[in-house]
Structure 1
Amino acid sequence: MVAPNYDVVVVGAGGDGPVTAWKLAEAGLSVLVLEAGPFYGNEQWPKPSEESGGEASASSTDLSGELLDEQFTTREFEMVNKLLFGPADHERGFWFRKFPGDGAILQCAGVGGTTLHYTGCHPRAYPASVDEQGHWPIDYADLLPYYREIEAMCEVSPAPVTAKEELFFRGAARAGWDLLHDLNVTEPGYRPQPNAIRRPDPKLHVDAGYDGDFSYPEVEGDTLALGNIAGNPHPRGAPYEEKAKRSSNVSFVPAALETGNVTIRPNAFVTDVRTETSLGDRPTATGVTFRDTWSGRTERVDAEVVVLAAGAIETPRLWLNADLPDNEWVGRGLTIHFGDNVMGLWNEDDLDELLGKDTVDQHEGQDIAARFDYPGLGMLQTVGTTPGVGAILGFGASASGFTFQNDTADAPWDTMGRLAGPELKRLLADYRRMLQVLVVSDDRPHRRNGVTVTPGLADEHGPIPVVNYEPSEGDQKRRDELATIAAEILREAGASHVHRSDSPPTALHVHSTMRMGKVLDEACEAYDVERLFVADHSALPNGVGGANPTNTGQALAARTADEILDRCF
């Protein structure tokens, strides 16, 4: 049962909230975590999308790997639908957010948040993005002990190399780039992806001749089976906390529950932050009001400290819909790592000479296992996908229209834009000989970009978030330069055809809407509300240079927990 009072209430059990909850609970505080979405793999909710189930979970014995196996299939379309941002009961429809143009917002609701739908990539921020861009009120050195703590909890290690990574590394080396060895990247170069995915069982090595069914306990760790993006139940048969991908529900939620001081209540959408104000003082957070997404019942809970960790869209939305002070930077400064996709296609004979086989087979191995870092510009990553996702990302949408509308005579790619008809069929028929490179740019925060709410456009939880994003000239230039480098790497790796998507803005990584130094102080406490902290990616003052943000968001959330202990307890 959920008690009426706690030391701390954390709003959101996504990538970052469970980190703060775990750290605070280890110090002996009572913590309630309220999550709008479902709790998969928990015996309190054996059918989370069909029945309301229990009220809350406060014990790690509720966690079930068997249930997670049942609920997290590897059927692509089913999992994408299951993990879209919405209530547990999908018959009620998804929660609508407005995003401009043809772009999309890639976020999930549920315990684990968007780490339920990520590839496990856990690089650190580029030091220059923290120390040299002028956005951060703390130094990169302040994050280092927390990086080490998070990386140990998530078992971060260099990703294993399969054919697609070998091909990418060959191209990067031939293009003149260096292999990087340091986790704190200060120079451009390529390296295996530091992933929060357990290393594969040694018996799966290519020379070991394994011929089993890849299930636990015969196989431990990563099985190298595609499916890390959506859910990922591998290895099948493993206990909940032994699953290979160390998403926050697998790494931090069990650790938090094992303290005996954490209660997690899913299906609880927070709609208001409660405050009290003494004469002449700024308001103090005293608790929250939330709505049960099954029954519609509204409840309240009191706490000494409130931590907002609902994500870079819902956290500012909650602030804007609550009776909290005006701050011109709430919701502003959004960064999304303005991205693109560049794809290479190889001839069979060329691949056979390079790899000893005539296919790339991007579906083998971890989804993202190789990267190219360029501090000041952003990064490139190889992406292994199933054909459906690959077609959507690589060919299905473009800001420059169809390929026949674009002149690429002087471009480093052969085609650019959206593909359709016979050309799309031809390239997709060669899916096994393709390699996709994701361009992730270091877009900088601009006040015009962000989250607002419109009173006339509301759902059951209040005015919905309206997300605006328009890349700057500098953002466009950095993305174009990275796309050119990607094309060069693919050419040097032997690709016979290179295609650029020129993708529309897609909120792949969402941050910077409750920025430290603008909305929050150096401890991530709100300037305008005492005992109200933020512990999610919205607190990041910029896009951490273009590196995947999960590691930095979690490191900052761990640091925020220590700051809460020092200031309030």
Structure 2
Amino acid sequence: MADTLSADFVVIGSGIIGSLTARKLAQAGASVLILEAGPRVTRDELVARFRNSPRRSDWMSAYPSVDSAPHPIYQPKDNGYLIQAGPYPYAAEYIRQVGGTTWHWAAQAWRNVPSDFKIRSLYGVGVDWPISYEDLEPFYQEAEEIMGVSGAPNTGSPRNKPFPMEPVAEPWAMRRLRERLAPTFQVVSNTTARNSRGYDGRPACCGNNSCQPICPIDAQYHGGLAADAAEAAGVKLRPNANVYKLEHDDKGRVVAALYYDPDKSSHRVTGKTFIVAANGIESPRLLLLSTSDKFPRGLANARDLVGRHLMDHPSTSLTFDADEEVWLGRGPQSPSSINTMRDGAFRSEHAPYRLDFTNISRVDGASNSLISAGVYGVEFDKRLRYSAAHEMNVKNVLEVLPLPDNRITLSSEKDSMGIPKPQAHYAIDDYTRKGHERSTQDFKRIAELMGGTNLRPSKEGVFSNNQHICGTLSMGKDPATSVCDQWGRPYDHENLFLVGTGVLPTSATCNSTENGLAVALRTAQYILSEQGRAGVQKPSSSTPG
């Protein structure tokens, strides 16, 4: 071992959730160390990579995989990091670097609706959460005030306090959708961690339309800012520290984290409390890697539940040409949606969904399609202008139920550091497919109301992936059916906590980051109260865990 480090809290993963958990602990006076597998990269480097990339529509082009901390890359070809076991491909994209994957997120920061916490009780599907909406509400607010969330009324999620700011200015195309779809559909501004005015030292959105892969001015909150905030609070952050094993004592308490640096020298970090915050794939992978005589299946996995109940939000879509010029491409990429199918008695029969409208410029995609079709010259100019002005797209965001056979396991293949790669077992069941079928009625009606022609539905039976990885470390009340309790503590490891979207027991219909962050902030407050840190009261819960 090259050296030994130590801290009160050792947090594994510097994404938005790991960093803001670490920040909250440090603000209470604790010593906190974050171990991040990937490198530290600055915003200006990422902007330059994006602007110089020949693959402008590839949102991972600014985030290459590094040998010391590889992550999945699919363009121009699959790098083979996330092994696919089928039967349906799960092409998850995530980033291993300081700040994590929210460097290139759409910044949607929806809360669940109250019914999402009890779909087993209400609709006879999935599972109930071990906590209620009311338990989480103050931590939603805390997360929103940290990130600077802009939102409008009528989200379906009750609030005790207003949003930190009003929504970003509505793009013309979204205004026309809202006007022409009313009263058949209510189009609302998306709830996003994006500034509509100066907030926390960051500027307002100026409409670059490159939220994914990178906001060039930091109007959009992301994990890089969260990591900066953690360090400003006193957290020590060590990049290029690829944790490959957790060690424990004879009572099951974690005593050390072992990591490789880029030269594959091994280092040992000790601490009083360990928090795994790597993401919904890398966190279960680490627990599964941490085998011992006492825990031959890995940590927190005595009941073979780690990695199970993998969920995301599959999407199908419809592209069409509106009968008027709408000119997508100015402002945020994902500004508006329809939320009427997020909840209802139908959930006993088929998946709920949101309908999300894109505002991504059509120039790049239309240009590539025309070139591929051999169109050039005057005809190219004419058709490109028409597509850029008229083309629109709407997609569904479908719930997936927590199925035990959808899971992350360890592959027999090893990565460039000699560590077993993660392997995805995934399928899309009839519940989700029926939700897709129901949404096609909405697609058709939306196109009709916009005078749509040249309708191009996504390929039948093919679902795109939204990279909302959740469910692999599900929290619950019963050790027989969950990996950890409502506070994120695995049942067999007193000083180990799990935070991140992996602990979410159901996926609902909204992007998973804000839900995961709110749960993590609640966990951090519980840890501090349990340890008697000054000024912290133990959070209440209507559902004892």
Same fold (TM over 0.5): yes
1:168-567 matches, within 5 Å, as 168-174=177-183, 176-178=184-186, 190-199=187-196, 220-234=203-217, 243-250=218-225, 252-260=226-234, 262-278=235-251, 283-292=252-261, 294-323=262-291, 324=299, 325-346=301-322, 350-351=323-324, 358=325, 360-373=326-339, 374-376=341-343, 377-387=352-362, 390=365, 421=373, 430-502=387-459, 503-506=462-465, 508-517=467-476, 518-543=482-507, 545-567=508-530
Distance 2:313 2:364 in 1: 19
Distance 1:135 1:388 in 2: 44
Whether the 8 Å CA contact 1:200–1:223 is kept in 2: the answer is no
Q: CA deviation at 1:81?
A: 2.2
Structure 1 unaligned residues grouped into runs of 5+: 42-64, 179-189, 202-216, 235-242, 352-357, 397-418
Match for 2:29: what amino acid?
G
Please give the TM-score of this superposition, normalised by the length of structure 2: 0.79
**In structure 2, what is the equivalent of residue 160 of structure 1?**
169
Distance 1:524 1:337 in 2: 23
Q: CA deviation at 1:289?
A: 0.6
Q: Please list the CA deviations of residues 2-55 of structure 1 after superposition, one character each: whole Å capped at 9, or x if unmatched.
A: 9611011111111311111111011111111111122222xxxxxxxxxxxxxx
Q: Please list the CA deviations of residues 143-190 of structure 1 after superposition, one character each: whole Å capped at 9, or x if unmatched.
A: 11011111111111123211221233234324x234xxxxxxxxxxx3
Whether the 8 Å CA contact 2:101–2:223 is kept in 1: the answer is no
Distance 2:435 2:39 in 1: 38
Q: What's the secondary structure of 1:16's corresponding residue?
A: helix
Distance 1:303 1:333 in 2: 30
Q: CA deviation at 1:482?
A: 2.2
Q: CA deviation at 1:327?
A: 2.8
1:66-215 matches, within 5 Å, as 73=51, 75=53, 77=55, 80-87=60-67, 96-99=81-84, 100=86, 103-133=90-120, 134-157=127-150, 158-174=167-183, 176-178=184-186, 190-199=187-196
Q: CA deviation at 1:77?
A: 2.6
Distance 2:64 2:128 in 1: 32
**In structure 1, what is the equivalent of residue 479 of structure 2?**
none
**In structure 1, what is the equivalent of residue 23 of structure 2?**
22
Whether the 8 Å CA contact 1:13–1:34 is kept in 2: the answer is yes
* Greater alpha carbon shift after TM alignment, 485-494 vs 515-524: 485-494
Distance 2:26 2:106 in 1: 28
Structure 1 residues 24 and 95, CA gap change in structure 2 (3 angstroms): farther
Structure 2 unaligned residues grouped into runs of 5+: 74-78, 121-126, 151-166, 292-298, 344-351, 477-481, 533-545
Q: What's the secondary structure of 1:499's corresponding residue?
A: strand
Whether the 8 Å CA contact 1:171–1:491 is kept in 2: the answer is no
**In structure 2, what is the equivalent of residue 11 of structure 1?**
12
Distance 1:231 1:112 in 2: 13
Structure 1 residues 220 and 521, CA gap change in structure 2 (3 angstroms): closer
Distance 1:18 1:388 in 2: 37
Match for 1:39: what amino acid?
R
Q: Are 1:40 and 2:41 counterparts? A: yes
Match for 1:195: what amino acid?
T
Distance 1:508 1:92 in 2: 12
Structure 1 residues 390 and 16, CA gap change in structure 2 (3 angstroms): farther
Distance 1:102 1:420 in 2: 26
Structure 1 residues 159 and 491, CA gap change in structure 2 (3 angstroms): farther
Structure 1 residues 228 and 86, CA gap change in structure 2 (3 angstroms): same
Q: CA deviation at 1:200?
A: 5.5
Structure 1 residues 69 and 102, CA gap change in structure 2 (3 angstroms): closer
Match for 1:255: what amino acid?
A
Structure 1 residues 108 and 345, CA gap change in structure 2 (3 angstroms): same
How many residues align? The count is 470
Q: CA deviation at 1:297?
A: 1.3
